[in-house]
Amino acid sequence: MAERKKIMVKLTILKSREEWLKARARIGGSDASAIVGKNPYRSNVDLWLEKTGQTIAEDISDKPYVKYGTDAEPHLRALFALDYPEYRVGYKENNRFTNDKYPWAHASLDGWLSDQDGRMGVLEIKTTEILQSMQREKWNHRIPDNYYIQVLHYLMVTEFDFVMLKAQLKSRFGDEVYLQTKHYKIERCDVAGDIEYLRDAEEKFWQMVQDKRKPNTVLPEI
């Protein structure tokens, strides 16, 4: 009887941010929403051009909102650990998860969790400044579509059991700054169909990257 191949989810800690950036040639969590037309900032064709080496993704690491999120992340992760002591919180800088089943994909997490039953989870941290009421509405009892697709991708790659998303929403009124914190939990068993849909979409997209076949444009709904 043939031996069944063991599927491996692997965590690698890369030596530098430069090495981490090079490893992003695969599809990452922030790429996934563009593939299914849920990214408000770039289309699936934009992503295809990047992955086939025809364009270079803009470096936004020096943008004020990105720097704020990067600087705030360790503090928000520490606050999560204080507010939710029932979880053990893990994190390593420049982390990269891969899965033998999905050779096109990788995941870099803001943190990972284990609960009192030994189940593993994804910790995702978001910071955003609310400039319009429509932005706040997207966070009302739900996660914005592009972030929802992102955490589905993380569940797919890691095969973890759940996601906890911590969002800090910042608003300004005159000289005053107001912060609102929201927490969302997603159980893998509740979104299994969506993970399967995303897996199929990513696999088809990656085949188009390999074949240099340009996909039809998929745009987000307004």
Listed residue (121, 181, 178) closest to 155, CA to CA: 121
pLDDT value of position 163:
98
pLDDT value of position 192:
98
32 CB-contact burial (10 Å; exposed 0-12 / middle 13-18 / buried 19+): buried
CA distance 181 to 75: 13
What the chain holds in terms of domains, given with CATH numbers, is 9-211 (3.90.320.10)
pLDDT value of position 61:
85
pLDDT value of position 1:
43
pLDDT value of position 116:
96
Q: What is the pTM of this model?
A: 0.93
Q: Crossing angle of helices 192-211/44-51, nearest 10°? A: 50
Q: What is the largest CA-CA distance in the chain?
A: 72
Q: Which two tokens stand for residue 87?
A: 């979880």
pLDDT value of position 221:
65
Give pLDDT < 50 ranges for the chain: 1-4
pLDDT value of position 2:
45
- CB neighbours of 85 closer than 8 A, spacing ≥ 6? none
